[in-house]
Amino acid sequence: MPDTAPPQDLLPTLKAILGPRGLLTEAADTDPYCEDWRRLYRGRTPAVARPATAREASDVIRLCAARGVGVVPQGGNTSMVGGAVPAEDGSQIVLSLARMRAVRDLDPADMTMTIEAGATLKAAQDAAAEAGCLLPLSISSEGTATVGGVLSTNAGGNNTVRHGNARDLVLGLEVVLPDGQVWNGLRRLRKDNTGYCLRQLFVGAEGTLGVITAAVLKLAPRPREIEIAFCALPSPEAALALFARLRQHDPAAVQAFEYMSGAGMELVLKHIPGTVLPLSAPAGHYALIELATPRPDAGLRAGLEAVLEAALADGTVLDAAIAESDAQRAAIWRLREEHAEAQKREGASVKNDVSVPVSRVPELLRRASEACEALMPGIRVVAFGHMGDGNIHFNLEQPEAMDPAAFLARDHEIMDRVNEVVRELDGSFSAEHGVGRLKPYMMPGWRGGAELDTMQRIKRALDPKGVMNPGKVLP
Ligand code: MLT
Ligand code: ZN
């Protein structure tokens, strides 16, 4: 890994390549490029390269590779694990994809879109919607997170339960490799068995094997009917039972099934202006249900009402509200999507983005809560997330009177305690946020032996100088 400041001649050379078009910024330490949105990671960088084409990105990387200078690709910088922040020693340059935002092609007949990596996920969704299609990837930070970032982290989010992760939506990629070669793999074929599946190597690699500059994404038919309900529940077991009943009723219709705890909801209502609980009384547990179908005659509403009526009758659900308008739908989603922001406003938090088999989510919630409360009396469990995928953000908020820095100083201890439970439940320590700079230390314990060894050999083969996103993913 490069561990010295970039050589003196790097900036003038980069300026000569990118300067005339204003594609290089000499960075100040206060730039947003140097810090993640939660303000947990602060780095330094001498320059931010902002290429407008894959060729320009290639020029930058080739130059950095020749001089052994680390390159940190950055999209919306919304990583939860410090995946896009440069190191503190100022030895790495940031490569921002902000200028590469074009929709190169959108084909409603093939149901594909070819889009550049710096486009926000929201812009990609909007372009798909304008063409009468759906890009079925949705995450809380979609207004800022970029296509390159969600692919590099294999983002999951709210619709994974029906449409899969980012990985499941990629047909082709354009990637600048660590030696500067541009791989144009922007194929939009549904079938293509021609050797190793390279695109999947770069998806989820967090920029450590190259920079994704454009992608071909699969689109889905636009839903014609959407129903959203918000439910109060007596327990996580009841949430799981409700999920099973919805799936039994119409397995194809469940587009999101999100769990929220009473503690998280209290923080949202306290910190996010304009949020209101759409139910008569607060509860200990909540679920957000989204059903969707491209069929015009599916009768979603009647089906949802039938499932909820039965669940209310036998006490599986305590109370429920079904959205009657787009405004109500957005208001309900906001209660879920503002959890991360509400936690940030409340104080310091430690995030555990874990997954277990769906059937074991209630056990995870109970056992990990007990473990954390025993470790640190007063710690507040704010668990929420994509219950339909078994992916819970088992987040911990600092005890009210505790100093935030003292709390964060114990982050490994807290994460490790949660992960002990996760391991016993056959889960994973990172479900959708990736490994970044926060979790490489966990890799040997979870992915050691042949798995980590293979990853390290791939890294060395593609990036022998360790230029791409140094210090991330691998220990
Ligand atoms: C979300 O689903 O809102 C984010 O992935 C989670 C988080 O704040 O941990
Ligand atoms: Zn999430």
Atom of ligand 1 nearest to the CA of 140: 3
CA–CA gap between residue 403 and residue 409 (Å, rounded): 10
**Helix/strand/coil (H/E/C) assignment for every residue in 68-116:** CCEEEEECCCCCCCCCCCCCCCCCEEEEECCCCCCEEEEECCCCEEEEE
Distance 393 CA to ligand 2 centre (A): 7
Distance 260 CA to ligand 1 centre (A): 11
**Is the CB–ligand 1 distance for residue 393 below 6 Å?**
yes
Distance 16 CA to ligand 1 centre (A): 41
> Which has the higher per-residue pLDDT, 16 or 82?
82
pLDDT tier, 1 (very low <50, low <70, confident <90, very high otherwise): very low
CA–CA gap between residue 353 and residue 355 (Å, rounded): 7
Atom of ligand 1 nearest to the CA of 386: 2
Question: At a CB cut-off of 8 Å and minimum separation 6, what does 209 contact?
Answer: 177, 178, 201, 202, 458, 459, 462, 463, 468
> Which has the higher per-residue pLDDT, 12 or 107?
107
**Is the CB–ligand 1 distance for residue 277 below 6 Å?**
no
CA–CA gap between residue 119 and residue 100 (Å, rounded): 7
**Of 49, 23, 43, 18, the residue nearest 31 (C-alpha):** 43
Residue in 268, 393, 439 to alter for ligand 1 test, most ligand atoms within 8 A of Cβ:
393
CA–CA gap between residue 176 and residue 205 (Å, rounded): 13
What percentage of the chain has pLDDT greater than the value 70? 99
**Is the CB–ligand 1 distance for residue 340 below 6 Å?**
yes
Structural contact between residues 23 and 52, judged by C-beta atoms closer than 8 angstroms: yes
Residue in 336, 350, 353 to alter for ligand 1 test, most ligand atoms within 8 A of Cβ:
353
Distance 199 CA to ligand 1 centre (A): 26
pLDDT tier, 30 (very low <50, low <70, confident <90, very high otherwise): low
**Of 26, 88, 40, 71, the residue nearest 180 (C-alpha):** 71
Task: State yes or no: pLDDT of 28 exceeds 80.
Answer: no
pLDDT tier, 2 (very low <50, low <70, confident <90, very high otherwise): very low
Mean pLDDT of 228-246: 98
Mean pLDDT of 318-336: 98
- Looking at residue 332, its pLDDT comes to 98
Task: State yes or no: pLDDT of 23 exceeds 50.
Answer: yes
- Looking at residue 298, its pLDDT comes to 87
Q: What does the pLDDT look like over 331-354, one tens digit per residue?
A: 999 999 999 999 999 999 999 999
Task: List the residue whose alpha carbon is closest to atom 8 of ligand 1.
Answer: 340
**Is the CB–ligand 1 distance for residue 360 below 6 Å?**
no
Residue in 140, 144, 414 to alter for ligand 1 test, most ligand atoms within 8 A of Cβ:
140
Distance 203 CA to ligand 2 centre (A): 17
Distance 341 CA to ligand 2 centre (A): 13
Q: What does the pLDDT look like over 50-87, one tens digit per residue?
A: 999 999 999 999 999 998 899 999 999 999 999 999 99
pLDDT tier, 8 (very low <50, low <70, confident <90, very high otherwise): confident
Mean pLDDT of 204-227: 97
Task: State yes or no: pLDDT of 223 exceeds 80.
Answer: yes
What rounded mean pLDDT belongs to the chain? 95
**Is the CB–ligand 1 distance for residue 339 below 6 Å?**
yes
Q: Which ligand is nearest to the CA of 341?
A: 1
Question: At a CB cut-off of 8 Å and minimum separation 6, what does 453 contact?
Answer: none
pLDDT tier, 275 (very low <50, low <70, confident <90, very high otherwise): very high
Question: At a CB cut-off of 8 Å and minimum separation 6, what does 395 contact?
Answer: 264, 343, 349, 350, 351, 352, 381, 382, 383, 384
Q: What does the pLDDT look like over 152-197, one tens digit per residue?
A: 999 999 999 999 999 999 999 999 999 999 999 999 999 999 999 9
**Is the CB–ligand 1 distance for residue 385 below 6 Å?**
yes
**Is the CB–ligand 1 distance for residue 80 below 6 Å?**
yes
Q: Which ligand is nearest to the CA of 338?
A: 1
Lowest mean pLDDT among 297-301, 407-411, 423-427: 297-301
Mean pLDDT of 270-280: 98
Q: What does the pLDDT look like over 130-158, one tens digit per residue?
A: 999 999 999 999 999 999 999 999 999 99
- Looking at residue 255, its pLDDT comes to 96
Residue in 36, 37, 78, 80 to alter for ligand 1 test, most ligand atoms within 8 A of Cβ:
80
Structural contact between residues 339 and 263, judged by C-beta atoms closer than 8 angstroms: no
**Is the CB–ligand 1 distance for residue 336 below 6 Å?**
no
Task: State yes or no: pLDDT of 5 exceeds 80.
Answer: no
